[in-house]
Structure 1
Amino acid sequence: MKSSEKMDCGCSALFEDPDFPSDDSSLFLDGSTPISRLQDQITWLRPQEICQTPVFFSDNINLSHAKQGLLGDCWFLCACAVLLKNKHLMDKVFPPDQPLWGDSKYRGSFHFHFWVKGHWIEVIIDDRLPCVDSALCFSHCHAPSAFWVALLEKAYAKLHGSYEQLWAGQVSEALVDLTGGLAESWSLSDFGSEDKLDTPEENYKQRRRKRLDLDTIYPLRTTCALSCSTQSIPGGGSEPDQHHSMTVMEWLEVKTVGGSRVRLFRIRNPWGRCCWGGTWTEGGAGWRSLDPADASDLQARAAQGDFWLDETEFLSRFDDVTLSYPINEEGHLQSIYTGNLLPHCCHIAGRWVKGLSSGGSRNSTSYSSNPKLWLKMSEKGEVLVSLLQHRKWRPYSDGPLKDDTRHQRHQAIGLHMWKVEKKRFNLSRTLNKPPCASTHCHAHQREVVLHGQLEPGHYLMLPSIYQPGAEARFLIRVFSSSSSSLSALRSPAPLLPLNPDGEWETSHLRGSWVERSSAGGSRNFPSHGQNPCFRFTVCDEPVKPSLNVKVTLRQSRTDSDLFPIGFHIYKIPAGEQNHSVPSEDPVASCVPHCYTQDVSLSCSLPLGAYLVVPSTYQPDCAGDFTISLSRRINRIVVKSQEKLGRVIQEINLHLMEDQLHEGVSHLSDAKLTTASASLKWAAQLKDSPSLETCVCTCTATVCMNTVT
């Protein structure tokens, strides 16, 4: 993310973020949500202008929890609860020792980190917050003097492009963005309702399946984050087809006076109020089944917006649940299925490209063209494989794209895996066999996860989008209890040209980004002009609308240690010979910078001289790279035009006459007869009005040399 020079200058003025200003551009995308009604009412205030003694956290943990304001981002607030439960995760998102209000080093800026596309990135904001009537109008802490929620929400809004972009989302996505780990969601409606089950045996199986999931994750309840969502809230007034998410603050088993055990869930509504009556509301019949001391203790734990439910109520009143995998202080993921640590992690990026690597689902005949990856297991172990697609929104620096529904944000993706004996295998024969593991179906989710116990050996994985030809970038991550490695099965590069007509020539250029010398970073940084520059010339006018230039930038780094890379193409003004980056805007760009091995751009450029300038996103990222530059050549095809043909005929006649007169004594009668006939035929052809055929075989070389 772009950092701002003003913030560390040591000046006394408080920082004002030029990339996310305190105006409507940071609030709204298109005014399609209810917060558009606030357009003329919002003012921006710093915490010290809102209260006398602002703090980041409240000493009371309950008062530090989030309360939803006028923005529909309950999904994000539910994910924030995981940070309060795990200090090491909070320190990752909000690095400690930042100067706060009252500190002499305070300059009005705060740094946050979010996990995006496989990497932690920094987002810097000022602390001017949107208010109505001098009070925070969006999310805030229950304690009016605590501001960590409001500041984190602003940083997340900047990452997305605007506050309005946070209206409606998935808890699982926010959990991954805040932890860098994994989160999974389960639809409780998938289990069916008891009145729809045909037999008592099916009834038992369904109830057993529900219970099994909760029993499995129960031991991890203190370290993982669990949330629940519903579409039907009594008196809640939620929008149609829009989930409202809540946080499971705690869940435990208690013993009733009758000796049985009951599992209870304490739910917190971000709205700050209880939505349901029932057995376990204040004064409800459920409390009378417990020992009075236990009942009193549990009811005292309920803060503002909290309410209790038993397991039966929990499963019947919520539509789905979302769970984040625990992450220990060393950064290792813990399995929710076994409780085992998964200390080995590897990842690889890829993309689906129409006509090349977007083959669709297994129902499609082009399925085998999807990206193919090798997973190698050194020994038997538990494995989690995640397929994460990149969303269709752009970072705030490039302007966001409209996202109305989950289906617009995400393609329907799936992942299949086959066990193979060795790397030399028959692809079509393998794909015709049932996979050893796969997602249940293609899902409109940002991320899908496979879990299993794998034997040592090689596994072929194919990520896919359901619809053939759909395009997106993706990230495959593997977490395992034993050593594993991940690599791409390289497909042959597509042959140039992209258009079958014409000829192409390709040159390969090697270069390096050198720290503090030629690693200038992207155009967001003043050092961009220090990057290496490569001059090339377009000699042939493009035949519109055909493309005539293709540039590919490839970095020489491992898949686990990639820089975000991109490049710009600048037009060199006529008559200039220097190789420095022009001050004008580029005529073509391969951006945004991506964490991939290579990026490519095909374009149509007019005649002239150009510079291609490759860069990493941040300055001072040292590494080697290769640029492949392909240019289309429009060669003239000669069809023996009359004027050219007569010239060639004259040359041919003179040659044949010389050979005939000078070599008569060396020719046999047969050869002499053939030569005379050829000369006579050529003489007749000379006077012919139509010259659409080639003169003769012996003139071919002359024709080619003449054209050349």
Structure 2
Amino acid sequence: MDTSIQPSAEKLTISKWCHAAITEISCQERGTMLAPSSTLTLEQGWQKTGAMESLQNLKKFNNQDFSHLRALCLSQGLLFEDDTFPAHVNSIGPNLLPKDKLHQIQWKRPTELQRNPYLIMDGVSRFDIMQGEIGDCWMLAALGSLTLQKQFLENVLPKDQGFQDNYAGIFHFRFWQYGDWVDVVIDDRLPFLNGRYLSVHPRTSNEFWPSLLEKAYAKLRGSYQNLHGGYLSDALVDLTGGVQVQFSLKDPPPDLEEILKAAAKSQCLMGCSTSGQLRRNIELKNGIVQGHAYTITGTVKIPYKNGWKHIIRIWNPWGHGEWKGPWSDGSPQWDRVEPKCREDLLRNKDDGEFWMSCENFQEQFSWLYICNSTPTFLNFGDQHGTTWSVDRHISLWSPALATGRNNYSPAGAVSTNPQYFFKVPDYDPKTYNVVISLMQKHAEDMQDAKNLKIGFFITMDSKVLKQIFSLTRDVTSYFLLSPGTYAVVPTTTEDQEFEFLLRIFMKNHDYNETSNVPPSPELPMDVPRQNQDRSYKAVFLRYAGQDSAIDASQLQQLLNEVFLQDEMTSLGGRFSFDSCRGILALMDLNSNGQLTLQEFGILWRSLTKYMDIFIMEDRNHSGFLDVSELKSAIQTAGLAADEQLLRLMVLRYGDAARRIGFTDFVCCMLRLETMTYAFQNLAGGRSQILVTAKEWLTLVMYT
């Protein structure tokens, strides 16, 4: 295109420019679009499901099928040996031990150690666990909490295995990874150094579920070495698929006691940790270990003296080593407690578990971690039957599509990075109502990759209200937001591509207490298989030809198959070939009639953004927007349209009743957005531009 500006060219005001631009794209077949779950899943509350229902789309780690492999071993009379995580120093990791000790590692099966081994004896308990040489207290503290919540435990620890029936040296365990449950198969060869367990060892000599589960998690993470130091918050999420929030105990929220009470009441997983990264595993005189993770196993208020005392029960994954201060085992404070209460609460054993006051808890520990399927730990105050809904978005953050290192700047991030909209309809000013969780995904072959510094902005009317950043895998925070429409902008401070999972949890206050279906802490029903594409890159590769590009025909097939899944939102019809040619032309930066991956990524981001806006503004859930809803949608998108332009848009894209379905809405908004930005680029901040006849014809005849 000739971009020189000729003095003789006709002047165009921005109003005329947009009026002309929106009339070009054709959307003859009217339709609407449902969000693909690769980008958004809206779950209003949580449906009560069994463990297996929540695992219906289970992924097989390394494509290993437990049932098939076990049957094969049984038919051949062999014990399973896992080539993908072998009995070799590579599975330990090169830096966990000195080289001479690495080569002294021996691998032994439980059947070599015990005459009559069991996977589980007398149920699963935190007291089955005793930490070994590996510094994975962060994972074991989460595991200890998991044993208290059976609704989650059943997902992680399948019941179809053991040493008594169909034993073939093979076991499997499940973990949640970036939106999917993953089944991890292992053999039962365990590492020993000088005759001692290198890894976690069970308190009962012939019970092996802790050691085998830890090995499966090590395999998922790449090696045992990758368990040596980590984040309790990561393990809580990996074992539940839930949302976790961490609270600083050095600067605690004013309602910490209420949060703890709500967490205990709603069966949350809880843990805590002490500071001291440079003095890890140093035990103080009072019995507390520095740089160490613990499980919170209970919290209660008891009658004490002339009032009430809030005490917290904590467990050390070492399986020994306890607090020696007030409310510890045998402390004089228990003498002032009513005997029946003392009998119910006090377990005077060196098993790593102890009580302490809430005041001492805040003094001795640095962080509190709470996790559940939804943020039920924020359900405190005068609330009845509160439920939470969640929007889930999985996408790829690419420097080519955003601002790179400038993303740390709010202005740069908000202007160019992907934005995800949500609406807060009402709120209780006394309690938190929104939780946002952003998780960065590591490639399956790079589980030990370093975390990027990631975060997000919360904006309203393009103004940044909040910004959160952290050098952790999972950045999560909770908010009290007044009614309105907001956008979340994921970003990173580094100029590097990363795939992310964004979850936006919102509190609902309209739950009917008389309903026969109360909210459940169970995991949600997973979405159908056809909706399981995990990023725009996966979608692109599925439809692209051998030349790694998408033409209009392929784009039409993609849009209709991926986006048009819902009966209500498909009332207006499907994407026509002509409309897809128009969409492609708007995104075709190379003007070659095809979309590259980068160009498709820009389109995908726009499609998902307008999908969010359309669903949000379709207030009566009719599958169409009326004129007022369209006006609100344009404003939400940060674009402008006066009454005359709005009338033209409805005439061009609406039906006889002046309603616009989603397919037409997409075409209209893509046209309006593209042409608005094209004008702004040409105008350079001015309200008018000069173009040549050649420039004008090139614009309107192709784009």
Q: Provide closer, same or farther for how the CA distance between residues 36 and 62 of structure 1 changes in structure 2, counting only shifts above 3 A.
A: farther
Counterpart mapping for 1:442-481 below 5 A: 442-452=469-479, 458-465=485-492, 467=493, 469-481=495-507
Find the residue that maps to 2:250 and give its secondary structure: helix
Q: Flag the 1:377–1:255 CA change in 2: closer, same or farther, 3 A.
A: closer
1:252 equivalent among 300, 305, 314: 300
Displacement after TM superposition at 1:334 (Å):
3.0
- Aligned equivalent of 1:120: 181
Match of 1:314 in 2: 361
* Local SS of the residue matching 1:78: helix
Q: C-alpha root-mean-square deviation of aligned residues, in Å?
A: 3.9
Distance in 2 between residues matched to 1:399 and 1:54, nearest whole Å: 34
Aligned twin of 1:347: 392
Q: Is the 8 A contact 2:119 2:163 kept in 1?
A: no
Q: CA deviation at 1:181?
A: 0.6
Partner of 1:16: 81
Structure 1 residue 160: deviation in Å?
0.9
Cα distance in 2 between the residues matched to 1:373 and 1:173? 24
TM-score, normalised via structure 1 length: 0.57
- Give structure 1 stretches of 5+ with no counterpart: 192-208, 419-429, 485-491, 494-503, 514-548, 561-708
- Residue number in structure 2 paired with 1:55: 118
Q: Which residue matches 1:110?
A: 171
Distance 1:35 1:101 in 2: 34
How far apart are 1:411 and its partner, in Å?
1.2
Unpaired segments ≥5 residues, structure 2:
1-60, 511-535, 538-547, 559-594, 610-703
* Distance in 2 (alpha carbons) for counterparts of 1:483 and 1:559: 27
Deviation at 1:161, TM superposition (A): 0.6
Partner amino acid for 2:63? S
Is contact 1:335–1:341 with CA below 8 Å preserved after alignment? no
The one-letter code of the counterpart of 2:469 is H
Change (3 A) 1:342 1:47: farther
Q: 1:93 aligns with which of 137, 142, 156?
A: 156
1:288 aligns with 2:335: yes
- What's the counterpart of residue 271 of structure 2? 227
- Of the three residues 171, 183, 189, the one matched with 2:244 is 183
1:27-66 matches, cutoff 5 A: 27-28=92-93, 30-31=94-95, 33-34=96-97, 38-59=101-122, 62=125, 64-66=127-129
Shift of 1:375: 2.0
How far has the Cα of 1:188 moved from its partner? Answer: 1.5
* Structure with greater strand share of residues: 1
In 2, Cα distance between equivalents of 1:120 and 1:54: 28
The equivalent residue for 2:453 is: 411
Match of residue 424 from structure 1: none
Counterpart CA distance in 2 for 1:221 and 1:289 is 25
CA distance in 2, matches of 1:168, 1:288: 40
Equivalent residue for 1:616? none
Q: Structure 1: which amino acid aligns with 2:292?
A: H
Rounded Cα–Cα distance in structure 2 between residues aligned with 1:297 and 1:237: 32
Superposed, 1:493-508 pairs within 5 Å as 507=551
Equivalent-residue separation in structure 2 for 1:377 and 1:468 (angstroms): 31
Contact residue 45 and residue 134 of structure 1 kept, 8 A: no
Mapped contact 1:377–1:482 kept (Cα < 8 A): no
For residues 247-646 of structure 1, the aligned pairs below 5 Å read 247-256=295-304, 258-300=305-347, 302=349, 304-325=351-372, 327=373, 334-338=376-380, 341-342=386-387, 344-357=389-402, 358=404, 359-363=406-410, 365=412, 367-376=414-423, 383-392=433-442, 394-395=443-444, 398=445, 400-401=447-448, 408-418=450-460, 430-431=461-462, 433-435=463-465, 438-439=466-467, 441-452=468-479, 458-465=485-492, 467=493, 469-482=495-508, 507=551, 510=554
Amino acid at match of 1:308: W
Cα shift at 1:274? 1.9
Matches within 5 A, 1:161-240: 161-191=222-252, 209-210=253-254, 212-221=255-264, 223-232=267-276, 236-237=281-282
CA offsets 1:321-362 (integer angstroms, 9 cap, x no match): 11112x4xxxx6635334755453331112322243144134
> 2: distance between equivalents of 1:296 and 1:268?
19
Kindly state the Cα deviation for residue 244 of structure 1 after the two structures are TM-superposed: 0.7
* Structure 1 residue 368, shift from structure 2 partner: 1.5
Three-state SS of the structure 2 residue aligned to 1:307 is strand
Measured at CA, do residues 482 and 54 of structure 1 come closer, stay the same or move farther in structure 2, by a change above 3 Å? same
1:16 aligned partner, one-letter code: E
Q: Is the 8 A contact 1:344 1:482 kept in 2?
A: yes
Distance 1:341 1:172, change over 3 A: farther
Deviations 1:578-626 (A, max 9, x none): xxxxxxxxxxxxxxxxxxxxxxxxxxxxxxxxxxxxxxxxxxxxxxxxx
Per-residue deviation, 1:185: 0.9
Q: Percent of aligned pairs with the same residue?
A: 27
The Cα shift of 1:246 comes to 0.8
Q: Residue 154 of structure 1 corresponds to which residue in structure 2?
A: 215
* 1:357-395 deviation digits (Å, cap 9, x = unpaired): 144134554542121112246776975443323254x42
Task: Measure how far apart 1:57 and its partner are.
Answer: 2.3
CA distance in 1, matches of 2:369, 2:221: 22
Question: Aligned partner of 1:475: which letter?
Answer: L
Shift of residue 72 of structure 1? 0.4
- The code of the aligned residue for 2:378 comes to I
Inter-CA distance 173–559: structure 2 relative to 1 (3 Å threshold): farther
Match of 1:70 among 133, 144, 147: 133
| Contact 1:388–1:476 under 8 Å retained in 2 | yes
Per-residue deviation, 1:296: 4.9
From the superposition, tell whether residues 7 and 235 of structure 1 become closer, same or farther in structure 2 (CA, over 3 Å): closer
Greater relative CO, 1 or 2 (CA 8 Å, sep 6+) = 2
Displacement of 1:316 in angstroms is 0.3
> Helix, strand or coil for the counterpart of 1:185?
strand
Counterpart of 2:150 in structure 1: which amino acid? K
Q: CA contact under 8 A between 1:3 and 1:124: conserved in structure 2?
A: no
Q: Are the structure 2 counterparts of residues 94 and 315 from structure 1 closer, same or farther at C-alpha, using a change threshold of 3 Å?
A: same
In 1, Cα distance between the equivalents of 2:550 and 2:109?
A: 56
Bigger radius of gyration among the two: 1
Return closer, same or farther for 1:108/1:556 CA change in 2, 3 Å cut-off. farther
Contact 2:413 2:491 in 1 (8 A): no
Are the counterparts in 2 of residues 266 and 302 from structure 1 also a CA contact under 8 Å?
no
